[in-house]
Structure 1
Amino acid sequence: MTETKELIRTGWNLDNSYAQLPKSLFTRTNPTPVHSPKLVVLNHTLATCLGLNVRALQNDDSLEEFAGNQIPVGSSPIAQAYAGHQFGHFTMLGDGRAVLLGEQITPSGERFDIQLKGSGRTRYSRGGDGRAALGPMLREYIISEAMHGLNIPTTRSLAVVTTGESVIRETEQPGAILTRVAASHLRVGTFQYVAEWGNIEELRTLAEYTLQRHFPEVADDKPYLSLLKEVIKRQATLIAKWQLVGFIHGVMNTDNMTLSGETIDYGPCAFMDTYDPATVFSSIDVRGRYAYGKQPQIAAWNLARFAETLLPLLHDNQDEAIKLAQDAISDFTELYHSNWLAGMRAKLGIFNEEPEDESLIEGLLTIMHKYHGDYTNTFRGLTFDKFSDMELFDTSEFAQWREQWQSRVGRQQESKASSQQLMQRSNPAVIPRNHRVEEALEAAVKHGDYSVMDRLLNVLSCPYAHSPEQGEYSILPGKSERPYRTFCGT
């Protein structure tokens, strides 16, 4: 009777299909309880989409569940095992500070992972404390919701609770737990783990599970090759979307590449202000492996590692398997490029295709790079014919380029008004500017003031609205002697 009341009250409808896979892929484990949790952020919109009762999620029982002190009805908590290439070096990994509670089945029948991040040590903690600091968890909440607003596939954040306990990350910081929602937590690294330490039957079972979970439409005589191709397609689309808004992930290790095509892990990520392909924010990316301009080629490298894990399933003959994998991977560059080019055309209000379009686009990027143009505000200026506040708009190079651009737009059948509408839908008015994110985090973490974060989230929820209240959030940060740096938060 209690369980029935719990289901009705909160709306939890949990299953855990992943726990039916071979036991080597996970460890059953419960979150480690905390002393005095407090709910500080709840994503009402996401909760409703998941079929949850927002009011019930704010009561004491739900608080205990978000903190890991109680297990929701239907949950079968596990920590997932996986491996990964971290900055090019292969290693054994796994959920070292996260527990998968289960999969929420929504009223429409969709299935989403519900994971507690920062919920204590697991078998895979590798000496870590299994905990998370408040700042990084709020950062993930902000950026993941911003990505959702930008229509970029992403994991999302349902809630953040403080634990009432401290964690040590160079300094003493308040602890927190994030409830992360994902299409799944299947990664390239999941397959790397099985390929390295499992057997072919476990690999086949994992591949079949992935197909059923994310690509149920695949029904042919080469399902594992189709799996590879579908993952490549989704990643080509995803990375193009990153590049089009100036998003820099910061830690594109293979364990941070999902097979669903969602962005995951928002540790050292940030959005680019001044356009520069060499931009790096992460303090640990000292050699620029994951710089903005290198993200497409790193994605291809990661996908090649995924293809390697599938070789035993692609063909009995290894040489033939390698050829099939290479042919599939070779498609990534063209798929990415076509997605990026289509997106850039839209950002410039171009509906059709002409051979010289890429040259026109590269010409603008060259000018932006030379004159340190702000990536987002340059396209915003083009959208509304407002050319001020940036040096590049006063140059002869830009004047010449603009003439070429207007001529190009004029050659298409669509009206100027239609072209501008396309640009408004393709060029965000706002992104989570680094200084605005830091402002929100400082107010929340140091002063317990979440109003700054709430206002930021509200603005970021509709980045293509181009509303008057978004104006102040498009203002660039003041110049600083120090470059902006991000940290992984672990």
Structure 2
Amino acid sequence: MTAHIPFDNSYAKLPDSFHARVLPASVAAPALIKLNHELALQLGLDPEALATQEGIEILAGKRIPDGADPIATAYAGHQFGQFVPQLGDGRAILLGEVVDRNGMRRDIQLKGSGPTPFSRRGDGRAALGPVLREYLISEAMAALGIPTTRALAAVTTGENVIRETMLPGAVFTRVASSHIRVGTFQFFLARRDGEGLRRLADYTIARHYPDAAGAPQPYRALLDAVIARQAALVARWLNVGFIHGVMNTDNMSIAGETIDYGPCAFMDTYDKETVFSSIDHAGRYAYARQPGIAHWNLARLAECLMPLIAEDKDKALEQANEALAAFPLIFKKAHEDGLRRKFGLFEEREGDAELMQALLDRMAVNKADFTLTFRRLCDAAASTEADGAVVRDLFIDPTAFDDWAVHWRERLALESQDAQARRDAMRRVNPAFIPRNHRVEAVIEAAVKTRDFVPFETLLAVLSKPYEDQPDFAHYADPPPPSQGMYQTFCGT
């Protein structure tokens, strides 16, 4: 049985300035941890063949499959506000592209596959923990319905990597609509490579935004489209309590997918200033600051596209500012529409924003769990008697919820929606299960210390159905114990 991958590569055909050709490093004894059978089939791959020794060696980078054209892509980026003119794939190699069963072009990339010309003295390897984290959280995001890169496979390498200690090595196979980033455009602007910038923009339009090609101003249309996708994406992050953790411009996908799950995490108790990343000392990428950072990042993209939008600098600046001015409006509508669904409101009425914010403010003061509050609000929408049992106990001062609920019920009464139908609709947008940080850490600890992957498999299965109750796994919805203290995440490198 041959592990055939029907590659149809396009990015590798761009000029050498876009990438560096490099082969993955061979590893000693690759072993399969997990293969995403459903995604493999969607990509037109044979999961049984990928699970053979030949397939596992491909997923580990030990064997190069026919048709692959391995490259490390070049990009720059602002990291915590500081511009770095050359970053690039330092521990990832793009094997190639496939066209999936829906006609969509998808990248297949190996992360942790060894050094590249962009490694900056790094070893290009990945430890097991970050690989499991990215697998779990990217697949959880997909199940939540949020645009994201996907996990095709995770394998161990049979070798150790050196971080603060010796850790088991692993390779993660990531699938993405592409790996073009805001930082990719910055790479060419920093080099004053106008032709490269135009080639990149044209390629991006053809691959991701074909409607822009027919617009009167194609590059302005490209900017408008990316802004709209990013505004909608970040709104969806906030509505499930997700914190990316490192929203550098090189971690913002032009395709509008969530990408690069390093020091990311989901919020437990609601606090708009929540930060988990150990390196985000100033809270630049805190939960509530993510929309502003996305807007800032998109301004950097606009700077790159200005030479293409208009030859006259003043006209180009005017067009860029006009496009960027739409972001707050698009984000606000997407965020409020999403919140309205979470609150069980089907019609837009004056005062809704204030009503919703009032509960969030009370949740913050009373340290109420974000996910549990909204999940239990679904039941409260169907029964007045459920209030005391399912929601108010999450608040330090239960009367804070009681007082707010009076106004909420008055607002619900203005709509004719059946109570049970409202509850069902709310349950479709308010998950019962998210990748609770303490659960993710327990999974990683079991895998790293004892090579026990059963907790990983169990948590992955639970997260694949986030909107279902799953009574046998109800405890996976519980918040962390108070003994956990302040939770921190760390960059996988």
Q: TM above 0.5, one fold? A: yes
1:70 to 1:330, Cα distance in 2 relative to 1, 3 A: same
* 1:81-130 Cα shifts (integer Å, max 9, x gaps): 00000000000200001100000122332211000000011100011011
Displacement of 1:154 in angstroms is 0.4
Q: Is the 8 A contact 1:249 1:270 kept in 2?
A: yes
CA distance in 2, matches of 1:96, 1:398: 49
1:376 aligns with: 371
Alignment correspondent of 1:37: 30
Tell me how far apart the structure 2 counterparts of residues 404 and 176 of structure 1 sit (CA, whole Å): 52
Query: CA, structure 1 residues 344+108, in 2 after alignment: closer, same or farther (shift >3 Å)?
Result: closer
- What residue number does 2:383 align with? none
Aligned pairs (5 A) from 1:191-340: 191-218=185-212, 219-340=214-335
Out of 154, 175, 178, the position equivalent to 1:160 is: 154
8 Å Cα contact 2:392/2:401 also seen in 1: no
Would you say the 8 A contact 2:140–2:464 is kept in 1? yes
Deviation of 1:391 after TM superposition, in Å, equals: 4.6
Q: C-alpha offsets along residues 384-431 of structure 1, whole Å, 9 cap, x if unaligned?
A: 124257352853331121011111111012221221111111100010
* Post-superposition CA distance 1:214-236 (Å, at most 9, x none): 01122112000000000001001
Structure 2 residue aligned with 1:70, among 39, 63, 67?
63
Q: C-alpha deviations, 1:20-44, integer Å up to 9, x for none?
A: 2121010111101111111111111
Could you give the per-residue CA deviations for residues 25-74 of structure 1, whole angstroms, max 9, x where no partner exists?
A: 10111101111111111111111111111111111111111111111111
- Residue in 1 that maps onto 2:415: 412
Matched to 2:297, the amino acid is: N
Which residue of 101, 105, 109 corresponds with 2:103? 109
Instruction: Tell me the residue number matched to 1:60.
Output: 53
| Alpha-carbon distance between aligned partners in 2 of 1:133 and 1:346, rounded to the nearest angstrom | 39
1:439 aligns with 2:442: yes
1:98 matched residue in structure 2: 92
Are the aligned partners of 2:231 and 2:330 in contact in 1 as well (CA < 8 Å)?
A: yes
The answer to whether the 8 A contact 2:91-2:114 is kept is: yes
* Distance across 1 between alignment mates of 2:465 and 2:236: 17
Structure 1-normalised TM-score? 0.97
Q: 1:400 aligns with which of 394, 398, 403?
A: 403
In 2, distance between residues paired with 1:481 and 1:431?
18
Sequence identity of aligned pairs in percent? 53
Residue 126 (1) aligns with residue 129 (2): no
Q: Residues 248 and 272 of structure 1 are in contact (CA less than 8 Å); yes or no, is this contact kept in structure 2?
A: yes
How far residue 77 of structure 1 moved from its aligned partner, in angstroms, is 0.5
- Structure 2 residues without counterparts, runs of 5 or longer: 381-388
Could you tell me how far apart the structure 2 residues matched to 1:363 and 1:478 are? 27
- Range with bigger deviation, 449-458 or 410-419: 410-419
> Partner of 2:439: helix, strand, or coil?
helix
Selected match of 1:149 from 137, 143, 148: 143
Instruction: Tell me the TM-score normalised to structure 2 length.
Output: 0.96
Does structure 2 retain, via aligned residues, the 8 Å contact 1:31–1:99? yes
Q: Say whether the 8 Å CA contact 1:13–1:106 is kept in structure 2.
A: no
Q: Secondary structure at the match of 1:181?
A: strand
Any unmatched runs of 5+ in structure 1?
Answer: 1-5
CA RMSD of aligned residues (A): 1.3
Task: Give the Cα separation in 2 of the matches to 1:371 and 1:119.
Answer: 46
> Structure 2: how far apart are the matches of 1:66 and 1:304?
37
Residue 474 (structure 2) pairs with residue 480 (structure 1): no
Aligned residue pair count: 483
Counterpart contact for 1:430–1:470, Cα < 8 Å: no
* Distance in 2 separating the partners of 1:84 and 1:355: 41
